[in-house]
Amino acid sequence: MNKEIFLTNNLSNKKEKFIPLDKENIGVYVCGPTVYDNPHIGNARPLVIFDILYKVLKSKYGHNKINYIRNITDVDDKIIKSAKEKNISISELTKNVIIDFNNDCNYLNLDSPTQEPKATDHIDLMIEMILSLLEKDFAYETNSHVYFEVSKFKDYGKLSNKKLEDLIAGSRVEVSENKKKSEDFVLWKPSKDDEPAWDSPWGKGRPGWHLECSAMSRKYLGDVFDIHGGGIDLIFPHHENEIAQSRCANDTKVFANYWIHNAFITMSNEKMAKSTGNIIKIKDFKDKVDGQVLKLALMSAHYKQPLDWNEKLLEDCKNTIDKWYEVYLPSNDKTVLDEDILSPLYDDLNTPGYIAKLHQLYDKALKGGNEEKSLFVLACNFIGILNKTKEEWIEFKKKKSSINEDDILEMIALRNKAREDKNYKEADIIRDKLLDKGVLIEDKDGKTIWKLK
């Protein structure tokens, strides 16, 4: 059965069948990192979600038919501020953060995008777009600043499904005496002496953040493309402004046909953000858990729903993968997954539904033979988990354990002696100490066996 892909399109606010502009060349643009600091777990969610989308599209249409662009913003107010705080150059900061970002992507076992353009490599295209907007009277220049005149674009607010006055109320709109109206947004602004600057018709300066994505998506995907994605916090003003300037510059009725946004990660139901001080960086997990555990946790809730982060979630996912490795066999790469197995992902990237499907396949693998085991592992591999051998998984657990094998055996012997002496309280204390160090023990057939959590 030839299944269709359905996605929730925030432009229409409903789930729609995905119909590409061209099945031979599908364009996807996702807003990537602003490289002012190491990515945190909240940043990891869109990385994982849109990696799943990329995998689904490749499975459906072919690996060479998807043009997946994920940009890097390497010029921005946050970057300038962060470099000053760290007392290093902007180039050193952005270089280091990009390296860390790529390491985080490898840790999460993400597929590389088709292109990963940097904003600073496309300044000339941004200047061209600004000149076009000025010529068409959608923008104006004041005191070496160039602004987009929002009132000239009648569809402003359509993505947010709100009126302009409602969008402005309660949002952080930049205040400037150079603007005609408060809602107008900057396309170009002058740089201070110690800030990055490029020559332009309006003097030395730098582009506005919103313009960067419009210029890069235009270069790599054209005036109109299939899917634009990012976090829900980007709907306004970033994506709303992208639509406005791109449609006006490109003379099109649409910019992207489908707009996909993931919800926040929360801690104690509060949005994870640097401003709230509840940040956990991806690198903080690397010595504690394997990347596939983190990835499974990030897929445990539907992308449109908030995901509340806690230690129990991580522990549950670690135990799940540990259990799944019991039936591990190298998968047959020539095997193609049936669309029935992938059907939850075809239905608006329903990752919890796919995880439930994996549990079903695991039960069959547990009772079946090598064919069932290999199919289960292949289905796990599709979303980037069970990507290491069983030996590699066990070795990682040993490395992160705070106790060696000799110590474990010694403590088990002490526990057995305590049980022989009917000192069950002492035996329980030793068991709990082992558990605290990541060691599970089980009494079976007169012997005590152990394994790492």
Q: State the pLDDT at residue 401.
A: 63
d(CA 73, CA 118): 6
Q: State the pLDDT at residue 427.
A: 86
CATH number of 6-266: 1.10.1060.10, 3.30.565.10, 3.40.50.620, 3.40.50.2000?
Answer: 3.40.50.620
Per-residue pLDDT of the chain (453 residues; tens, 9 = 90+): 579 999 999 999 999 999 999 999 999 999 999 999 999 999 999 999 999 999 999 999 999 999 999 999 999 999 999 999 999 999 999 999 999 999 999 999 999 999 999 999 999 999 999 999 999 999 999 999 999 999 999 999 999 988 877 777 656 567 778 899 989 999 999 999 989 999 999 999 999 999 999 999 999 999 999 999 999 999 999 999 999 999 999 999 999 999 999 999 998 777 776 666 678 899 989 888 999 999 999 999 999 999 999 889 999 999 999 999 999 998 666 567 888 999 999 999 999 999 999 999 999 999 999 999 999 999 999 999 999 999 999 888 777 666 677 788 888 888 998 888 888 888 888 888 887 777 888 888 778 888 776
Q: State the pLDDT at residue 76.
A: 94
Three state DSSP letters for 393-410 = HHHHHHHHCCCCHHHHHH
Report domain 287-396's class.
Answer: mainly alpha
d(CA 208, CA 146): 9
Q: State the pLDDT at residue 20.
A: 98
Domain boundaries, the chain: 6-266, 287-396, 401-452
Asked if 432 contacts 420 with a C-beta cutoff of 8 angstroms, the reply is no
Equal fold, 6-266 vs 287-396:
no
Residue 305: partners with Cβ closer than 8 Å, 6 or more residues away:
263
Tell me which residue has tokens 């607010």.
Answer: 157
Three state DSSP letters for the chain = CCCCCEEEECCCCEEEECCCCCCCCEEEEECCCECCCCCEHHHHHHHHHHHHHHHHHHHHHCCCCEEEEECEECCCHHHHHHHHHHCCCHHHHHHHHHHHHHHHHHHCCCCCCCECCEHHHCHHHHHHHHHHHHHCCCEEEECCEEEECHHHCCCCCCCCCCCHHHHHCCCCCCCCCCCCCCCCEEEEEECCCCCCCECCCCCCEEECHHHHHHHHHHHHHCCCEEEEEEEHHHHHHHHHHHHHHHHHHHCCCCCEEEEEEECCEEECCEECCHHHCCCCEHHHHCCCCCHHHHHHHHCCCCCCCCEECCHHHHHHHHHHHHHHHHHCCCCCCCCCCCHHHHHHHHECCCHHHHHHHHHHHHHHHHHCCHHHHHHHHHHHHHCCCCCCCHHHHHHHHHHHCCCCHHHHHHHHHHHHHHHHCCCHHHHHHHHHHHHHCCEEEEEECCEEEEEEC
d(CA 266, CA 232): 13
Residue 398: partners with Cβ closer than 8 Å, 6 or more residues away:
452
d(CA 311, CA 95): 32
